[in-house]
Structure 1
Amino acid sequence: MSKSMMTIQSFYKSKEWIDLVAYLKLKRVKDDGQLYCEHCGKPIIKSYDCIGHHVIELTPTNVNDVRISLNPDNIKLIHFKCHNEIHNRYGYAVRKAYIVYGAPCAGKTTFVHNNAGHSDIVIDVDNIWQMISINKRYDKPAKLKQCAFGVRDCLLDMVRMRIGKWDNAWVIGGYPLRMDRERVADRLGAELIYIEESKETCISRAYNKDWIKYIENYFEIFQP
């Protein structure tokens, strides 16, 4: 897509924006080696918890003006939660959808619990499998696949069509295959958030030995 046809959604996926935020993250690290939220002043510990916030809000009419959209002076690096608070406080909150993906025990659910609002809808694919059976988490019998996917797709369609009065939508899942997660993101108009953790860390967090095989399998097939 040419720059003259850039939309807000395509802008946030553009190489120019991604590269600029990566550059600002490096440039704004303090002498102690820490990056601090430019809203609350607290450290930003995880890279996925850092978001570039436009002081002058992007709109369909100014998104192609690089003096606004790609101006470092118009961009603050802040916590994900702080970003949502700012948009809610000043009355220009827009319904957003996020796909939070990563390995089992990487911290996906924790991230969503720390950032989702009271009126947000949360679709946890693993919870759906567990909800419709007596099985332990990550145990997904093939015979239940149609039922689990039916529930999932019904909820995803509500997000896609923006049905209901929820604020933001959070879809939690592994999505190790790039094509699968990008397809869902495009369908929902959602942003992708990768909860990155090492295999060793995920295994150390596993409450059940049976989970280890699911973690190892994830890293074997994961596509960055």
Structure 2
Amino acid sequence: MTAATPVSPIAVAPAGLTDRARRFVEVDGVRVPRQGPGQHRERWIEHGVPVMEVDRAAAFQDRWGGLALPPAPFYEGGPHILGADCPEGSAAEGWSFSAGSCRVSMAYGFMIGSDGAFGIDANRWTALHASTDGWVESLALAAHARRWAKTVTRIKGKAVESLDLVGFEPVPEVQGVTDTWWRGKDSLIALYRGEAAGMDAPECLEAHVYGGLDEWGLHGG
């Protein structure tokens, strides 16, 4: 966004988010005017995009289009502004569409898969979360954990595989697929496996351990 780009606060976050994610979107997010897929609908259909896929991109745009959120703690901050583009693919391979523009030049893009999963299109398609809701929930949880943790430890590469998750439970609202969050008695752990899986790069494995959390820090929202 530039200084001249008109923005507006989010009056009401999309329905279905946790209270934590709703607050995050409404307080920290802004809405940037974006053109919806509607004006391209007929042209996309003429070029062979199934009506169902055009409708799916339009539904994404209605829910998330133009939403700009603070940078994610991994993936070079994630999409700059969420927004759908022309679906691409085939009946055999499935259809996907862009989830939004990148903040910097990257080796992959953020996509919405044929099943609605939010992921990256690197050497291969890799789902990070089962939906965009899960991605937004993960951003909200990361912001919450950073605020309340007494310590934050980053672990990279092979050392991530040695993390002991005994006694930890998965955090369901992030809808983790390749990336997951885990909750312990006084800590939260975010496991970022997407780049490693999508780019065949085990050195890109990363985990963030948020320690010293009280009950609110663990469950707030």
TM-score interval, smaller chain: under 0.3
Bigger strand fraction: 2
Larger RCO (CA under 8 A, 6+ residues apart): 1
State the TM-score, normalized to the length of structure 2.
Answer: 0.26
Normalized per residue, the structure richer in helix is: 1
Greater CA radius of gyration, 1 or 2? 1
